Amino acid sequence: MPTPLDLRVVSDPPALFQAAANEFASQAVASVKTAGRFTVALAGGSTPKSFYSLLASNDRDRLPWDKMFFFWGDERHVPPDHPESNYRMAFEALLSKVPVPAGNVFRIPAENPDANRAAEAYEQTLHDFFQPPVGTFPRFDLILLGMGPDGHAASLFPESKALHERSRLVVANWVEKFKTHRITLTLPVLNQAATVMFVVSGQDKSAALKEVLEGSQPPDFYPSKLVRPTNGNLIWLVDQAAASALSKPRS
């Protein structure tokens, strides 16, 4: 049965970041209550930075940070102190400001000059932490994703090799337009999550959002179409500008 669409459209970026922070916080509290821990894969790019900062300022004293475990959905092939590092962004906006034990933070070792080795190492980290039975995939409580203007999610870019990966948990994906590898979780892992939440802002994403939610182009051209949790929830949290091309007015 296809994953029901939970599309939430809010007025503007501040409302988007607040709504994302609220959803993150309530998911964290609920998971720790029921399972004793909360496992989350953070999104990179620029959009989530503001809601990470909101979490750090508004929820610092009310979330069970010692029972929360942080991973990344993808990483650029750069060291952790590089300006383009997704780890660095999340560390500066959130993790350096909240009492999360260092042992609860599992970054992608993208400083490894061999991107494939970095992907293998992170795959081992996921195996060691989640210990998924053979033939199954780790189940994150929450995976946060952004979406590019080309419809990519994590580092699953249009017509890229990683779109067809069915057994690995993490791969190094060559991105022709950037002439570099990105290290990314694969679709089987994304689609095994309890909840996947896209957080999308801005006019420049409106055409891709319309195609992903309403269009008929092959999913290889708009990889966000391939993110459909098999036994979980899919939330699209977007602002009005990103939703502006959708056929039916949404509010």
Q: State the residue for tokens 């999340």.
A: 90
- Judged by CB under 6 A, which stretch of 60-68, 148-156, 173-181, 189-197 contacts ligand 6PG? 148-156
Among 26, 46, 57, 116, binds ligand 6PG (CB under 6 A): 46
- Judged by CB under 6 A, which stretch of 21-29, 141-149, 187-195, 209-217 contacts ligand 6PG? 141-149
Of the pair 154, 213, the CB lying nearest ligand 6PG is at 154
Question: Would you state the structure tokens that stand for residue 245, as one six-digit string?
Answer: 């091309």
Work out how close the CB of 191 gets to ligand 6PG at its nearest, in angstroms, rounded to a whole number. Answer: 16
Q: Is 148 in the site for ligand 6PG (CB under 6 A)?
A: yes
Q: Is 171 in the site for ligand 6PG (CB under 6 A)?
A: no
Bridging pattern class, strands 68-72 and 38-42: parallel
Q: Which amino acid is at 154?
A: A
- Inter-residue contact 133 to 204 (CB < 8 Å): no
Of the pair 32, 171, the CB lying nearest ligand 6PG is at 171
Q: Is 13 in the site for ligand 6PG (CB under 6 A)?
A: no
Site for ligand 6PG in 74-113 (CB under 6 A): 74, 76, 86
Burial track 97-132 (b if 16+ CB lie within 10 A, e otherwise) = ebebeeebbbbbbbbbeebeebbbbbbebbeeebee
Q: Angle, to 10 degrees, between the axis of helix 13-35 and the axis of helix 49-58?
A: 60
Among 7, 22, 25, 45, binds ligand 6PG (CB under 6 A): 45
d(CA 147, CA 171): 19
Rule CB under 6 A: which residues touch ligand 6PG?
43-47, 74, 76, 86, 146-148, 152-154
